[in-house]
Structures are given as C-alpha cells and as structure tokens.
Amino acid sequence: MLKKRFAMPKYKFSYKNPLSHFLHVETVFNNLNGSVTLHLPLWRPGRYEIQNFPKRIRGFKVTDNKGKQLPFKKTAKGTWTVDLQESYSLNVQYEYFAGLMDGGNTWLDDEQLYINPVNCCMYEPSLMNEEIELELDLPSDYTLASGLKPNGKHQLLAKSYYQLVDSPIFASNKLRTVNYSIEGYEFYIHIQGDVPQSDQQVIDDFAPFTKKQIEVMGGFPCKHYHFLIQSLPYKAYHGVEHWNSTVICLGPSEDLSKRELYKELLGVSSHELFHTWNVIRMRPKEMTPYNFQGENYHETGFITEGLTTYYGDLFLIRSGVFSLEEYLGEVNKLLKRHYENEGRKNYSVAESSFDLWLDGYEAGIPARKVSIYNEGALAAMILDLSIRNKFNNEKSLDDVVKTLWILRGENLSGYTYQDYQQVAEEVYEGSLGSYFEEIISGTTPYENYLKELFEEFGLDFKLTSTQKPEERHYGFRLIDGKIAIIAPDSPAEAVLSLGDQILKVNGEDLKNEFPGSESIELKIMRMGRKKSIRLESGESEYFQVYQVQMGHGPNELLKRWLELE
C-alpha cells in the first residue's frame, strides 16, 4: 500500500507562564500509517551517559489531524506506540520541564527561552531524514540565535532530525551578537548575559584561534558557525559541541573582567570550535549514526575529548592568544589532576572511555578510573611531542588529525581505535605499539615518556610538594573539614576513613592550617560516633605531583611546537 504524501514534520514551542519552566511542545508527523512508534532521546551527543529526558515530560497526548484522540501505549521509558487507525498523520503534545541551566539542557524563564531540541523533541524513525519546520510562539521583541536556517519571524528549518537535535536555540530580547569572518566563513558570538569585553576585544581574541584551526585543518566544515554563550551571575563552567554551533555556560559574569575567568571562556570556546571537526563529524564508528535509545560504547574517548582538550589550549598559544606562561599553566593543571588521581594506576584511558556510560561523570569509588579529557590530553601531547621530536617538527599530530579527517571525517564514515593507530604509525613511519599498549590501553606511568620528551623541548619536569602538612606528611586531603582523599600507603590510610569529620586537632578547633609537627592528635566524627586518632608523620611525602617549567629558555623545538616568535 502506498503512503500518502503530506507536509514535512513540524515542531511548535509555546508557553503560558515562563516562571513555571514548563515548555509546551507540539509535534505534527505526516506520511504515516498503521502502528507508529515514537521516541524521545535518552541521552545527548557530547555527554556519554544516559540522562533519561522523558522523566521531564507530562501531559502526553496524541490526536489525529482532525483532533480525535488516538490510543497509545508506553512500551519503554522513552518509547510510545500509537495506533493511527484510519489517519495518516498525528499530533503529539506534552509539556517539558525546562528548568535546568547548563550547556546541554533546556531553560525557560521570564528573560529567555533556551532549547536543546535533543531533550524535548520526539522522533519517528522513518522520518529522521526528512526536512523539519520549527515555530516558536514568543514575545514580538524576541530574536533568535541558532545554527538552523531562518524561515520567517520566529521560524526555523532543519534538514533532518539529526540536524535538529544538534542545533540549540537561544530566544531573548537581550541577545548581544558579535560577528567576524575568516576566509569567507562567518562566525557569530551570541551572548545572553553580561560580558564586559568590547566587541572588538572579543573579535581580537576569537578570530586568531579560529584562523589557526582553519589553517591547520585546511578549511572549515560549515559556512557559518555560532557561539551561543550564557554568561551567568553564578559560578558555572560547561560547553557542548554541535553541528555548526556550541553552547557555553560560564560564570560568575562579574569575574569575566578578570583575566583568569576570561581565559576560561577563550579556552572552552577554542575547545568547542575544534569539536566541529573532531567528534561532530569525525566520530567513533560506534556512534555513526547515533543511537539515541541506548549506550553508544566506545574506547576512543581519548580522541573525542582528549585530543580536543589538548588542541583547545594549543591553538590558543599557537595563535598568540595565550602567553607561554599561560599555556604552561594549563599544562600544569592537566599534570596536577593526573598525578592526584590514583585511578591512573588501575584503569587505562581506553577503559575509562568505555565506562563513561557507567559512571564517567561521577567521582566514583576511590582510585578506579581516569578522565578521558585530562588523561587523553596528556596522551595526545605525548604522541605529538614524540612525532615532532623524531622529525624535528617537520611532522606532528596535526598530520595524524588531518589524515584521519580526510579518511573518516569528511565522509562521516566513523573511525575505529585501529584506524587511529594505523594513521599515527603511518605519520610516525614506524611502530607505536608500545605507546598504544602502555599509554592508551595500559597504566604505564606517563612520566616514563614525558620526562625525556620535555627535556628535549627545553622544559624542566620535576616533582613538587604540596604545602599543606596534612597532605604532605600524613596523606589525607580535606574538603569542608571532611576527609575527601586518602593517599595509598600513608599513615592516614591505616586509621582514617573517607567522610570522617575533623572536630579538633591537638585539642583545638580545626583552623585553616594544620600544624607541621611529627605527630598530631585528631578528634573525629565517624558515622555519628566520636573517636580520637593519633597520627605519626610518614617517612615519605604524599600528594606529590610533577610540574613543568621553562628551563634555560625556549629552544628551537619548543618554538616551533608552540609557534613562538
């Protein structure tokens, strides 16, 4: 039986009371018959964990094109089966709670509507590649910012469901837009909230790293790109990549006048821009295409996020936006996080990538796993410096990324772990088996590689000690007066437990600093019971980390790596 042809799918967003945070979503699907299955995604690209967006909807109902209610049955947490009866179209309506502000969610209040369609837009599998219309019922003075194509006032077009859910939308009467062009590509910075820098200063900082990325990658994948920035009055840091845009949440906005937080804005913006190539288009085979109804397991998070984290900061110094001191400061942050995480001894970055779907964004049990962002960035640095050192900077990780892009990115075919290793070894002109076995799929100490490499590039790489006596001599770290981390084989490990509350130190109330004596008496609260504990200073130092600094000045290898003048 032939299906009748109707208009493209249409989504309409409206609301009555923005302070309730409930967004009304109405969707019209056409060209259907029989029994139809509808889905709402359970996760979103850019965060590899099940987030169960259906838990935020209420008032679900389905009617045909004449308003007659259609019978339906919920068959899974994000799946509804609808009996179309004699109809060829259906109208789905529900309310979505838009009450979570971060880079990957949806927010509604009396100042703006911010939509991540992947949270709240259902799909019918047979229509996922159809063009889509969007309509937003908004105050007349609101303007829109999105990577989607405008289709009239408060109306947009998406080429497919895949583009729709990869295209967040800002709507407000207070949007500030800054734009610049690089080699014919258009870039827009849409700001909701306060950013004190002038338009020209923002352009002077964004344009150089944009230009450098385009130069290295040999072009840009889309004609126009949109930075969608939520400058928030409270502490926040989050960025999410999309097809031709990114959402960045940062705060507190009043601190953006200071270099430290503004530097964070530049760092996350460079990181998210590089995602336009790496993971949005050049993505793991396991996510090609995305399965929105379950886990997309992969071992290559060291590429998707680690490589991007490394390049995000690297492009900032290579374009002159970061100073050498600022760049080495970011490297030292990576090193500090690495060496303070005992999980590096137990779980590889490849294993940790696979387990993102288990507990990747939680602290987890002590010393179990590592961060694909942090460890992946250091692993990328090791590979980059190894190639550069072998070929005197005539080759680099740039060649690996560009080759993989041409092979697996431009055609959206997806890559495997083996693809990446093969390309890396072709560029290296030799085996990198030890690197992949030890650094990517193993737990070999990174210093075994970094110490020699940093020396070749004129950098000192040395162990440094913490200045806090309780960490250095006894092996425990406090957060808000509670034991948060205990160093292995330390005096603290034998007598203290995670979560212990320190009440007194040597008979006195806990102060900002611990005494540096050879022993201390602690009174603690453990599970509602008070205990007295005596700690003797250990023979070793704990919480030591490697840090990097300039040696006798930049040598030629370093200058060419970081493109220093």
CA gap 238, 258 in Å, rounded? 18
Task: Give residue 138's pLDDT.
Answer: 98
| Tokens describing residue 216 | 């290295």
| Structural domains of the chain, ranges and CATH numbers in brackets | 10-171 (2.60.40.3650), 175-262 (3.30.2010), 277-459+555-565 (1.10.390.10), 469-536 (2.30.42.10)
End-to-end CA distance of the chain: 70
Task: Give residue 4's pLDDT.
Answer: 43
Task: Give residue 385's pLDDT.
Answer: 98
CA gap 327, 211 in Å, rounded? 19
| Ordered per-residue pLDDT tens for the chain, 565 residues | 334 445 789 999 999 999 999 999 999 999 898 899 999 999 999 999 999 999 999 999 999 988 999 999 999 999 999 999 888 899 999 999 999 999 999 999 999 999 999 999 999 999 999 999 999 999 999 999 999 999 999 999 999 999 999 999 999 999 999 999 999 999 999 999 999 999 999 999 999 999 999 999 999 999 999 999 999 999 999 999 999 999 999 999 999 999 999 999 999 999 999 999 999 999 999 999 999 999 999 999 999 999 999 999 999 999 999 999 999 999 999 999 999 999 999 999 999 999 999 988 888 899 999 999 999 999 999 999 999 999 999 999 999 999 999 999 999 999 999 999 999 999 999 999 999 999 999 999 999 999 999 999 999 999 999 999 999 999 999 999 999 999 999 999 999 999 999 999 999 988 778 887 889 999 999 999 999 999 999 889 999 999 999 988 889 999 999 999 7
Task: Give residue 3's pLDDT.
Answer: 43
CB of 479 within 8 A of CB of 510? no
Task: Give residue 561's pLDDT.
Answer: 98
Helical axes 397-404 vs 199-217, angle rounded to 10°: 80
Instruction: Indicate the pairing of strand 90-97 with strand 22-29.
Output: antiparallel
Tell if the pTM clears 0.85, that is, is over it.
yes
CB of 342 within 8 A of CB of 366? yes
